[in-house]
Amino acid sequence: MSSINNTIASYQQKLAISRLGLWLFFASDAFMFGGLLITRFYLLGNKNLNLDQTLGLLVTSILLISSFFMNRAEVMVSQGNHKGFITSLVITILLGISFLVGVVGLEWGNAHFGPGDGAEGAVFYMMTGMHAFHVLTGIIFLGLVLRNGLNKKYTAEKHYAVEASANYWHFIDVVWIIYYPVLYLMGTM
């Protein structure tokens, strides 16, 4: 019995340390995203970037819907619903890829400036590029979780990787919720 209690205590300790490490990562990443946000206002002031409003709303909607499905995947795994977990995770990954196609494939191609076209281009491509990089990283992370999920490595009691990937996904969603109005809606022409 003592061996079982030690194993549970060891798992709980590793879980607490892992959670702390993840939140410290989020804090450091928030400084980077915050620095980019400050750069936008410092270099561009109240200037509107004149971006495609419909596309901006579409990619934002896609990312928010993906967050719903990521939450659903986490709930499903915690309830032991393997099929629901896998289905929701696959939908999240597909929506994440759609977001990337929308921002990197379409928005970057439609922008009336390039990354080398002064402060406007530099700020836009850096902000959206860093966010897109984080979304891509999240998709890779979710792909690894999916692989492990298909191999039934998660249980209702032990699924920290799912929790961590969900928290990461929600973090990058929150960043976009801040970036979207700053890039697409704010400012004057």
Does 12 fall in a domain? Answer: no
Going along 7-157, which residue ranges are E strands?
none
Q: What is the pLDDT of residues 141-173, one digit of tens each?
A: 999 999 999 999 999 999 999 999 999 999 999
pLDDT, mean over the chain: 93
- pLDDT score of 6 more than 90: no
Domain count, the chain: 1
DSSP string, 25-63: HHHHHHHHHHHHHHHHHHHHTTB-----HHHHHHHHHHH
- pLDDT score of 1 more than 80: no
Six token digits for residue 85:
């977990």
Does 55 fall in a domain? Answer: yes
What is the CA 8 to chain-centroid distance, rounded?
Answer: 31
Does 103 fall in a domain? Answer: yes
> What average pLDDT score do residues 173-180 get?
97
Q: pLDDT at position 7, please?
A: 62
Contact criterion met (CB below 8 Å) for 128 and 108: yes
pLDDT band at 11 (very low <50, low <70, confident <90, very high): confident
Q: What is the DSSP letter of 104?
A: I
SS3 152: coil
Does 1 fall in a domain? Answer: no
> What average pLDDT score do residues 68-73 get?
98
Does 56 fall in a domain? Answer: yes
Does 6 fall in a domain? Answer: no
Q: What is the pLDDT of residues 98-147, one digit of tens each?
A: 999 999 999 999 999 999 999 999 999 999 999 999 999 999 999 999 99
Q: pLDDT at position 189, please?
A: 62
| CATH number of 142's domain | 1.20.120.80
- pLDDT score of 65 more than 70: yes
Does 140 fall in a domain? Answer: yes
DSSP string, 80-126: T-HHHHHHHHHHHHHHHHHHHIIIIIIIHHH-SS-TTSHHHHHHHHH
SS3 154: coil
Does 117 fall in a domain? Answer: yes
- pLDDT score of 4 more than 80: no
Portion of the chain with pLDDT greater than 90, in percent: 86
Q: pLDDT at position 94, please?
A: 98
Q: What is the pLDDT of residues 85-101, one digit of tens each?
A: 999 999 999 999 999 99
Q: Which residue range(s) make up the domain with 47? A: 23-185
Contact criterion met (CB below 8 Å) for 149 and 89: yes
